[in-house]
């Protein structure tokens, strides 16, 4: 018995495709393909720019979400004082700081940048809260300078007399993982590494005091709206 040999499948050549569809039909096909690609690209862009709301959703439910981890270059060790100095002397000695290495210490994480006008308005309040409310009680105020030049961040710290610990993120990657939509924003993290509070915009002394207390106690304080914000770059 002779087996049938499959014939090669001939694909239509570009010239034949034009003949079959006609110029108008071919243009319709290409237009549909371009429209589909544009819709897909638009959907990707919307998804990529959508803020991560998981922290605020968790806080609204009375939960304390685990703080997103990061490891960033150390800008300034700051003046830790006797309580934090003994606890974090080795942790803040190297060129990088990881949030995981700070586990066991409550943290006030403040996102800022030297180009942010609203951050400049908040700076004196943060510094006072650090000296009077956080540092004496063993709570670390950690400034996260983002989308900024290190030299500008140093000048900013000198101008406002900032002496708390600061790290640097040249991008907005960490901010996106926290769902930050503008500057400043402040997160309160307890000793177990869970977010227990969040202030959107310029924080007041009362909001900082409440957040520090929540971080010390490991108690969910929720999300609060502060003053003005500067949109991210």
CATH number at residue 157: 3.40.30.10
Q: What is the mean pLDDT of the chain?
A: 85
pTM confidence score: 0.80
Q: 95 and 79 in one domain?
A: yes
Q: Is residue 136 part of a domain?
A: yes
State the pLDDT at residue 51. Answer: 72
- pLDDT band at residue 15 under the 50/70/90 scheme: low
Range of the domain at 36: 9-50
pLDDT tens, residue by residue, 98-121: 999 999 999 999 999 999 999 999
Q: Is the pLDDT of residue 81 over 80?
A: yes
Domain count, the chain: 2
- pLDDT band at residue 36 under the 50/70/90 scheme: very low
- Report the b/e string of 35-50 with b at 16+ CB within 10 A: eeeeeeeeeeeeeeee
Q: Which residues pair with 199 in a beta bridge?
A: 186, 224
Give the pairing type, strands 222-225 and 195-200.
parallel
- pLDDT band at residue 38 under the 50/70/90 scheme: very low
Share of the chain above pLDDT 70, in %: 79
């Amino acid at each position: 018995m002779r087996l049938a040999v499959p014939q090669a499948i001939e694909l239509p050549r570009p010239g034949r495709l034009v003949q079959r569809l006609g110029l108008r039909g071919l243009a319709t096909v290409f237009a549909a393909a371009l429209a589909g690609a544009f819709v897909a690209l638009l959907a990707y862009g919307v998804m990529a720019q959508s803020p991560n709301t998981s922290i605020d959703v968790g806080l609204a439910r009375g939960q304390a979400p685990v703080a997103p981890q990061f490891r960033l270059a150390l800008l300034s060790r700051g003046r830790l004082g006797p309580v934090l100095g003994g606890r974090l002397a080795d942790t803040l000695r190297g060129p990088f700081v990881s949030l995981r290495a700070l586990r066991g210490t409550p943290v006030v994480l403040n996102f800022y940048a030297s180009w942010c006008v609203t951050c400049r308005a908040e700076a004196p309040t943060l510094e006072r809260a650090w000296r009077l409310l956080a540092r004496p009680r063993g709570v670390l105020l950690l400034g996260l300078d983002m989308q900024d030049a290190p030299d500008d961040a140093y000048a900013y710290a000198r101008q406002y007399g900032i002496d708390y610990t600061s790290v640097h993120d040249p991008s907005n990657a960490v901010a996106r993982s926290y769902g930050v939509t503008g500057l400043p924003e402040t997160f309160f993290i307890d000793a177990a590494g869970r977010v227990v509070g969040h202030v959107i915009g310029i924080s007041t002394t009362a909001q900082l005091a409440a957040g520090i207390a929540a971080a010390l106690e490991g108690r969910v304080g929720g999300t609060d709206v502060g003053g003005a914000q500067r949109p991210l770059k």
